[in-house]
């Protein structure tokens, strides 16, 4: 394997003068006609040229900004020297899903935001795309399996945290069963992230790999309804991981949300992006948007809905947000892509009522203008209604993307599990262990709606602790820190 460079021997000045490589992305007019990935694959020479811009910082800020601590400079050095397999293996040593994180991480807030180029106001090294490039190009070697240990573990939730736990435990010889409420594995990766951001083929491949490792999937099974944590322990599982996410949709609390033509974000995204056969029965019929679609809310899910509505053929797609762009959460890159694709934005507006037409379908949205007042508990300035500014817009479809909450009903139903006042599970930050012996948790169920990469991080951490418990005895939890 090519050795790590001597940082003093790297020509930093020369590298800093190199131009950024153009990111290959499909023309907006073309890409909104299908649900294929917006980004195109790089060719090796373009990827190498981009990797060569990395100046090999000795205390690389990008590594510190990556929740997984990926050894980015070394991986890019290997790519620059055409050793794609070795570069992929560096990413894979700290990340179970580099092909996913490379595509969906909000890099401008993480690794790329910390890159020295970004701090100079220049395009950062395209770390995410390069991570996805090497992971796509280098087939993932089949790991050396440990002999079966005879110990059993269960994972509840087949999203990024749960899949990570399952993989790490299966490789170490433990028998793992993964339960999930959806009909197919993937959680947010399949039933949240649209295919134009990340092909669901990647989820299929990851699930197939886990099955080859011996992981058993039990779909359409909700904890608390179809199976209880007690049953899992009674059936002989010695360690159980809860990766149930935070997928309860926040209510709009306005009149008209039950009208035909009004969708919650998740059913809308699933109906448009997930193969019919992999949807739950209630979401089999699919979705239609008409000519004018209104997406209410901000953040990544709202942008996913906006871009999905455009791909479904809506001629006019507007995102209505009650604050300004400055306060809008989510990835700026996705907002830019949505703008390129024709999305419009209306800032400082709040819908107050959805109105039906003669056929009973939604046909209009009543709104009021807002202004920003004093900061609220989140630190963002609170939107306040401006009197006398009510107005009405005609719509064919309204999609409500108002954010997600943890699943309080499920976690409150698990005896001995401590949760906070927002129904987030309390865990020991070193191990993911909960207040109940043998029960671990991670991802959005612990953090609230967060990132795929933090779910992977939690999964890796919990898998280590669960392995220790399965091989050496109990792990003591300290959930107070």
CB of 103 to ligand SF4, least distance (A): 8
CB of 205 to ligand SF4, least distance (A): 18
Q: Which region among 104-112, 146-154, 176-184, 189-197 touches ligand SF4 (by CB under 6 A)?
A: 104-112
Tokens of 142: 């089949």
The rounded distance, in Å, linking the Cα atoms of 113 and 61 is 9
The rounded distance, in Å, linking the Cα atoms of 200 and 132 is 14
> Scanning the structure block, which residue is given the tokens 């909104």?
32
CB of 111 to ligand SF4, least distance (A): 3
For residue 167, what is the enclosing H or E element?
helix 160-171
Single residue of 79, 101, 161, 215 touching ligand SF4 by CB under 6 A: 101
Smaller CB separation from ligand SF4, 66 or 170: 66
Calculate ∠ Cα 20-97-430, nearest 5°. 110
Neighbours of 368 (CB within 10 A): 18
The interface with ligand SF4 within residues 199-218 (CB under 6 A) comprises: none
CB of 80 to ligand SF4, least distance (A): 16
Binding mask 81-100 for ligand SF4 (x = CB under 6 A): --------------x-----
Three-state SS sequence of 306-319: HHHHHHCCCCEEEE
Does residue number 107 form part of the binding site for ligand SF4 (CB under 6 A)? yes
CB 122 within 8 A of CB 166: no
For residue 373, what is the enclosing H or E element?
strand 362-375
Number of residues that bind ligand SF4 (CB under 6 A): 15
Does residue number 110 form part of the binding site for ligand SF4 (CB under 6 A)? yes
Compute φ and ψ for 248, nearest 5 degrees: -85, 125
CB 185 within 8 A of CB 158: yes
Does residue number 73 form part of the binding site for ligand SF4 (CB under 6 A)? no
Single residue of 39, 105, 115, 348 touching ligand SF4 by CB under 6 A: 105
Single residue of 55, 66, 239, 362 touching ligand SF4 by CB under 6 A: 66
Q: Which region among 64-72, 197-205, 242-250, 278-286 touches ligand SF4 (by CB under 6 A)?
A: 64-72
Single residue of 166, 246, 453, 462 touching ligand SF4 by CB under 6 A: 453
CB 351 within 8 A of CB 322: no
> Which spans of this chain sit near ligand SF4 (rule: CB under 6 A)?
66, 68, 70, 72, 95, 101-102, 105, 107, 110-111, 127-128, 131, 453
């Amino acid at each position: 394997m090519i050795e790590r460079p001597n940082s003093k021997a790297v020509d930093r000045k020369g590298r800093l003068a190199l131009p950024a490589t153009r990111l290959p992305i499909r023309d907006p007019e073309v890409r909104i006609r299908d649900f294929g990935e917006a980004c195109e694959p790089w060719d090796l020479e373009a990827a190498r040229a981009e990797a060569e811009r990395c100046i090999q910082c000795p205390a690389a800020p990008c590594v510190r900004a990556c929740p997984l601590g990926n050894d980015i400079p070394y991986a890019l050095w290997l790519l620059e020297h055409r050793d794609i397999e070795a570069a992929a293996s560096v990413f894979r040593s700290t990340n179970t899903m580099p092909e996913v994180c490379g595509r969906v991480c909000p890099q401008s807030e993480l690794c790329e935001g910390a890159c020295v180029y970004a701090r100079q106001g220049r395009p950062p090294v395209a770390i995410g795309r390069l991570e996805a490039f090497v992971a796509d190009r280098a087939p993932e070697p089949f790991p050396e399996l440990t002999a079966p240990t005879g110990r059993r573990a269960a994972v509840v939730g087949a999203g990024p945290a749960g899949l990570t736990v399952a993989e790490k435990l299966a490789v170490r010889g433990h028998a793992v069963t993964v339960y999930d409420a959806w009909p197919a594995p993937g959680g947010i990766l399949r039933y949240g992230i649209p295919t134009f951001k990340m092909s669901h083929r990647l989820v299929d491949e990851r699930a197939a790999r886990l099955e080859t490792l011996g992981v058993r999937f039990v779909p359409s099974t909700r904890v608390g309804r179809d199976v209880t944590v007690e049953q899992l322990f009674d059936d002989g599982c010695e360690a159980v991981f809860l990766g149930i996410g935070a997928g309860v949709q926040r209510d709009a609390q306005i009149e008209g949300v039950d009208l035909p033509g009004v969708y919650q974000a998740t059913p809308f995204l699933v109906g448009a992006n997930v193969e019919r056969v992999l949807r739950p029965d209630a979401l089999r019929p699919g979705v239609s948007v008409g000519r004018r679609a209104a997406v209410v809310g901000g953040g990544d899910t709202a942008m996913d809905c906006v871009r999905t509505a455009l791909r479904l053929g809506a001629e006019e797609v507007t995102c209505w947000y009650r604050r300004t762009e400055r306060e809008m959460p989510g990835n700026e890159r996705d907002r830019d892509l949505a703008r390129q694709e024709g999305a419009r934005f209306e800032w400082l507006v709040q819908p107050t009522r959805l109105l039906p037409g003669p056929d009973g379908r939604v046909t209009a949205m009543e709104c009021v203008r807002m202004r920003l007042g004093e900061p609220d508990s989140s630190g963002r300035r609170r939107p306040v209604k401006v009197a006398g500014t009510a107005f009405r817009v005609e719509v064919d479809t309204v999609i409500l993307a108002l954010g997600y909450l943890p699943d309080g009903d499920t976690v409150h139903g698990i005896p001995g599990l401590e949760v906070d006042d927002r129904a987030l599970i309390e865990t020991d930050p070193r191990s993911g262990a909960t207040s109940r012996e043998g029960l671990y948790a991670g991802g959005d169920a612990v953090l609230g709606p967060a990132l795929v990469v933090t779910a992977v991080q939690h999964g890796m951490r919990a898998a280590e602790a669960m392995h220790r418990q399965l091989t050496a005895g109990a792990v003591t939890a300290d959930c107070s820190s």
